[in-house]
Amino acid sequence: MAFGDNIVALGGISLLEAYLLQRTVFANETFCTVCWWAFGSNFAILTLYSIIIWPFFLNPLRHLPTIPGLMNGSKIIFDSPRGRLPLIWMKTVPNDGLIHLRGHIYRSFLIPTNHRALLDIMSTNTYDFEKPPRPRDFLARILGYGLILSEGAAHKKQRKALTPAFNIKNIRAMYTLMWDKTNQCLQEMEKELKENPMEGTDPADGVGKLEMGVWGSRLTLDIIGPVAMGRDFRSLQNSENKVAESFLRILEPTREKMAFLAMNFVLPQWLAQRVPWRLNKVVADETGFLRDLCNDIVREKRECLESSKASAQDLEADILGTMMLGGDFSDTELVDQMLTFLAAGHETTASALTWACYLLTLYPDVQQRLRDEIRQKIPSAETEITYADLESLPLLNGVCQEVLRLYPTVPATVRESIRDTTVAGKRVPKGTTLILCPYAINRAPIFWGDNAEEFVPERWIDTDKNGNLVPNNNGGASTNFAQITFLHGPRACIGKDFARAELRCAVAGVVGRFAFEMQDPNQEIHIAGAVTTKPVEGMNLAMRRVEGW
């Protein structure tokens, strides 16, 4: 067979086809090579830009005091207690209101440290900052898009509608309910102490044991239920209350939950919820139950309103009724608000009560002086009280304020600038993450002096011109921004006065009735919690009723 026939015997492929095949293969190899070189070059340029050019030559924050190395989000999330590292940085890094942390892929993190920076973020330019989308979307699974997680115009609308329910007159009217629930709590606690005597003690001493965190949660849940939605959950009388159990399963402080939180802060929710992790099912099941419960309550109240069986005065008896009368909220929005108030409204004070008991075990002299002060003013737990009875007690207020200062329920939170803005006179570009750290600010020597981390209730007590001890509201600090447990400005916690009143009642009742210490005096307590701060080991107390009250 001649070559001129352009036939290759092997396989029957023509020379033309072989030539074209060779060119195609060569072209494909060249194309792949070019693609790989382009990818490698772009990756190298991006890496160079991210690691050297942007942070050291272009970033407008590059001149700020900077923590060496790259910022690792897990350093803050898994910090124990959360806020410990920012407090160390505030003490050791000279700064003028902002500390800069370099993040991955040319992201920047800022920690505000002084009055001016905190004022700009929480008051002056507050709507220049929002919660980052991923943490916000995750928390919405638990809280709904209520007042805490709403932003911009939606937040302004919700805040305006809810503010009347939390004015000081309404808060003070709630003391009767709070005190009644506290008295019920004391009775139920006493039953448990009798059923669980402390090993190694004389039975005649009447010393029993209980875990204070559980009782704090049950008490505050039974207070916020009637206040928020007119529903008494009676968790104090029912240890297997499903509502209390749901919040416990979601918020119990475990390291697994911290890792779960970190994953949800990094991944978008559409992906995070598909990760085969058992906690995804736990959160879905428990929040599903709570949302169904709130839906039922909203529907019942809506039917009551439409059938005119309830007067305006009846509806205004709780927050849900007040919002319904306003007529500006859909049922879905009402459910979100109820989820927010259920979670935030009881968890804050339950945590604070737990830490109050812990501190009073460390300072038994303060515990005794506080008991004497309470009993001198209030003859017994069954005595009817007014707001003035508790708000006028200097040591009670000093103890409660120190607890809220040293153990803020939410030790750290984040904001992201949604536009170019300024903080403490420095330009902050859009997309910068700011870490607001109540744990660190509340313990900072710049605000509180050399004893900033010590439990000193007396810092909240003044002497009037007649020599009488009276409470003060600043703790001796030069600015209100020295304590940001409830934040400040338009985004401050709307229920802060409610929480303080609730804590006064709870602490007065527990300390007035019982003397207590740790079951194990040598037990080391660790602060943790995925959203709020709790003792990992629980607050296991040995308690004894002190007769005469």
Assign 401 a pLDDT band (cuts: 50, 70, 90): very high
> What per-residue confidence (pLDDT) applies to 315?
60
- Model pLDDT for residues 497-538, shown as the tens digit of each residue: 999 999 999 999 999 999 999 999 999 998 887 677 889 889
Residue 71 has pLDDT above 90, yes or no: no
Residue 407 has pLDDT above 80, yes or no: yes
Contact by Cβ (8 Å): 345, 496: no
pTM (global) more than 0.95? no
Query: What phi, psi does 474 have (nearest 5°)?
Result: -120, -10
DSSP code of 451? Answer: T
Residue 254 has pLDDT above 50, yes or no: yes
Query: What phi, psi does 407 have (nearest 5°)?
Result: -130, 65
Residue 311 has pLDDT above 70, yes or no: no
Bigger pLDDT: 39 or 283? 283
Letter string b/e over residues 94-126, b meaning 16 or more CB atoms within 10 A of that residue's CB: ebebbbbbbbeebbbbbbbbbbbbbbbbbeebb
Letter string b/e over residues 243-254, b meaning 16 or more CB atoms within 10 A of that residue's CB: bbebbeebbbbe
> What per-residue confidence (pLDDT) applies to 176?
95
Which of 52-56, 203-207, 389-393 is least confident?
52-56
Which of 43-57, 361-375, 409-423, 508-522 is least confident?
43-57
> What per-residue confidence (pLDDT) applies to 221?
94
> What per-residue confidence (pLDDT) applies to 317?
73
Computed on alpha carbons and rounded to an integer, the radius of gyration of the chain in Å comes to: 29
Cα 8-12-13 angle, rounded to 5 deg: 70
DSSP 148-207: TT--HHHHHHHHHHHGGGGSHHHHHHTHHHHHHHHHHHHHHHHHHHHHSBPTTS-GGG-E
Residue 19 has pLDDT above 60, yes or no: no
Contact by Cβ (8 Å): 101, 71: yes
Residue 243 has pLDDT above 90, yes or no: no
Residue 53 has pLDDT above 90, yes or no: no
- Model pLDDT for residues 86-144, shown as the tens digit of each residue: 999 999 999 999 999 887 766 789 999 999 999 999 999 999 999 999 989 999 998 88
Dist CA 510 CA 233 (whole Å): 21
> What per-residue confidence (pLDDT) applies to 310?
59
Residue 298 has pLDDT above 50, yes or no: yes
- Model pLDDT for residues 324-377, shown as the tens digit of each residue: 877 788 999 999 999 999 888 888 899 999 999 999 999 999 999 999 999 999
**Residue in the block written with tokens 């503010």:** 163
Report the chain's mean pLDDT, rounded to a whole number: 88
Residue 46 has pLDDT above 60, yes or no: yes
| pLDDT mean over 25-49 | 74
Dihedral sign for Cα atoms in the order 414, 415, 416, 417? negative
> What per-residue confidence (pLDDT) applies to 244?
83
Assign 20 a pLDDT band (cuts: 50, 70, 90): low
Classified as helix, coil or strand, 543 is strand
Bigger pLDDT: 47 or 229? 229
Assign 308 a pLDDT band (cuts: 50, 70, 90): low
Helix (H) or strand (E) holding 416: strand 413-417
| pLDDT mean over 243-256 | 82
Q: 41-50, 114-123, 310-319 — which one is most confidently predicted on average? A: 114-123
- CA-nearest of 442, 430, 443, 513 to 215 is 513
> What per-residue confidence (pLDDT) applies to 273?
93
> What per-residue confidence (pLDDT) applies to 429?
92
Percentage of the chain modeled with pLDDT above 70: 90
Assign 70 a pLDDT band (cuts: 50, 70, 90): low
